[in-house]
């Protein structure tokens, strides 16, 4: 069976909001830890925590929400070819219904 949309996409999309929250919380904790650890002996480690928190925040900001992922997935499936196929199918069904109602009389 050939899927139009891979079912794994729905699973990965459902993880996007969880990943966004996790990265956000991790970034906040890393910023707090980096400021608490910032003294003369642990400057290098505090800078690493701060860099990791900044990277996490950037990823968190650019990671789309679940709704946006669904919209992008739908938009990728809507093509002029699919619309034309749908028009032809609707026209064929309408013609069939008209013919069927004519045969009833």
Q: Does position 1 have pLDDT exceeding 70, yes or no?
A: no
Using alpha carbons only, what angle is made at residue 76 by residues 14 and 56, rounded to the nearest 5 degrees? 45
Select the more confidently predicted residue: 104 or 64.
64
Nearest to 56 by CA among 85, 86, 22: 22
pLDDT digits (tens, 9 = 90+) for 53-76: 889 889 988 989 888 888 888 888
Select the more confidently predicted residue: 99 or 21.
21
What is the secondary structure of 77-104 as a DSSP string? H--HHHHHHHHHHHHHHHHHHHHHHHHH
Give the number of residues written for the chain: 105
What residue spans define the domains of the chain?
1-63, 65-105
């Amino acid at each position: 069976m050939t899927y139009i949309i891979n079912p794994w996409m729905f699973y990965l999309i459902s993880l996007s909001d969880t990943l966004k929250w996790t990265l956000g919380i991790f970034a906040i904790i890393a910023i707090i830890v980096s400021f608490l650890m910032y003294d003369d002996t642990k400057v290098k480690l505090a800078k690493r925590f701060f860099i990791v928190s900044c990277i996490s925040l950037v990823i968190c900001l650019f990671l789309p929400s679940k709704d946006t992922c669904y919209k992008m997935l739908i938009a990728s499936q809507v093509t002029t070819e699919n619309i034309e196929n749908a028009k032809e199918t609707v026209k064929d069904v309408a013609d069939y219904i008209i013919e069927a109602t004519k045969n009833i009389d």
